[in-house]
Amino acid sequence: MAPAAGWPPQLLLPTQNRAGFEGAVVSPGPMAAARKWSPRLLGAAALALGEALGLYHTARWHLRAQDLHAEHSAAQLSLSNHLQLTLYQYKTCPFCSKVRAFLDFHALPYQVVEVNPVRRAEITFSSYTKVAILVAQVGENSQQLNDSSVIISALKTYLVSGQPLEEIIIYYPAMKAVNNQGKEVTKFGNKYWLMLDEEAAQQVYGRKEVRTEEMKWRQWVDDWLVHLISPNVYCTPTEALASFDYTVLEGKFGAVEGAMAKYMGAAAMYLISNRHHLQDNVREDLYEAANKWVAAMNKDQPFMGDQRLNLADVVEYGVLRVMEGLDAFDDLMQHMYIQPWCLAITETSPEH
């Protein structure tokens, strides 16, 4: 049934109807006399009415907030159900592992295309030749997302705001630049930002400093932590062989190609794995990074996002997870205080 016109009814305040009383001569009756002689009674009545209205609006706001949360969760579920995602990756790439961690945490179904790291025939359709690449199909529209951090920011923005992906991706422009080695590289603007209005940002973060911290630590993962992975998994000939054995097993190699990749790749990575100005014992850099991460969280704060995971938690875990099963990961869990945080991550269900 359609609501009646003018619903909800408006309170008629005395000032809204003053014209009806102007010019009228009204003799003071018993109620007027009571009003004249009982100002305290009137004050108490007004206070009680004000408290009642306050309680009413508080309860109404609380119920509306619950409704909005339910609507938001349902909207996210609806949006995710319309997404068809295909991830082009190297299984052992930490940047790709970041994206998988994000997709898994948000319970987004996706298909994986393992890219041959030598021929890369699987991504010839793309002028962007690095992984991760994510192709998102929404209805009849297909959108290619490049760069792990852009993928994560764009998808999170989409899930929260419902803006079309083709509009969201405009906020993350690709820009050509020349690095310190004189090589042309592609950089992406705003890649740690979620493109949300003030209300949506408040809903996601609560406080502005939480958003700032999330962006800072996401960038730290890209600028520093990622570069500790290769030196630590290739730091000795034995570890280098074990790592490439895992790489060949998980990657898309033919028999001959796999054997060449295992031995030649292991030797090459062992020789170049210390090009990031790290300590002689590269484990110490990994330990220091883990300590820095844990120290940034308060004593009673289980995650970098305080009482719930944020994107910084997700990408940190994604990068560390790529070492799982190797000596570097086992050493990190045994020697550092980061293990409780890792366990808490694995026990946390997707946020929906």
- Which candidate, 158, 226, 220, 160, places its Cα nearest to that of 212? 220
Q: Which of the residues 21, 56, 93, 253 is marked catalytic?
A: 93
User: Which residue reads 């998988």 in tokens?
Assistant: 100
Distances (CA, A) of 285 to 103, 304, 345: 29, 20, 23
Distances (CA, A) of 174 to 55, 101, 222: 52, 24, 17
User: Residues with Cβ < 8 Å from 146, sequence gap 6 or more?
Assistant: 126, 128, 130, 133, 174, 186, 188
| 235 among known catalytic residues | no
The DSSP code for 350 is P
| 303 among known catalytic residues | no
Q: Which of the residues 56, 88, 95, 105 is marked catalytic?
A: 95
Q: Which of the residues 96, 235, 270, 303 is marked catalytic?
A: 96
Q: What is the DSSP string of 86-133?
A: EEEE-TT-HHHHHHHHHHHHTT--EEEEEPPTTT-GGGTT-S--SS-E
Is the Cα torsion angle 90, 94, 97, 102 positive or negative in sign?
negative
| 188 among known catalytic residues | no
Q: What is the DSSP string of 289-318?
A: HHHHHHHTS-TT-SBTTBTS--HHHHHHHH
Positions marked active-site: 90, 93, 95-96
